[in-house]
Structure 1
Amino acid sequence: MKVLVTLFWSAVIGEVVGYIITALAGVPDEPLSTLIVSLVFGLFVLLISEVGVVQPKK
């Protein structure tokens, strides 16, 4: 469930940020490219959260 929520919000926030950046730069918006980049970044964040977090020793 954590993966789906993270990917959903990375897609939504990525699309909003992509729209704002392309509007400010004056270039045409490409939603598919923005979606792919934001999902890859979301997967990267999930990978880092699983690998980079040290579990406490008992």
Structure 2
Amino acid sequence: MGKLIVLFWSFILGQVVGYIGGALNSGTYSFVTTTVVSLIAGVLIMIIGNVAIPNETKKVSK
């Protein structure tokens, strides 16, 4: 469920950034390109999140 939420928000925020970035650069807004880039960024964020979690060390009791 958490992965779906990350993809959903990366889609939404990617669309907003793509639209505003296109308007500021006097360029065109492409829904498909912005969607692909934002979802790839969301997947990369999920991968980094899974890799960056440190492994728990086992405590040795004496």
Runs of 4+ in structure 1 displaced over 3 angstroms? none
SS in 2 for 1:13: helix
Task: In structure 2, list runs of 5 or more residues that go unmatched.
Answer: none
From the CA coordinates, give the structure whose radius of gyration is larger: 2
Task: In structure 1, list runs of 5 or more residues that go unmatched.
Answer: none
**Sequence identity of aligned pairs in percent?**
38
Shift of 1:53: 1.2
Q: Partners of 1:30 and 1:44 in 2: how far apart? A: 21
More helix as a share of residues: 1
**Cα RMSD, aligned residues only:** 0.7
1:13 is matched with which residue?
13
What count of residue pairs does the alignment treat as equivalent? 58
Q: Partners of 2:55 and 2:17 in 1: how far apart? A: 33
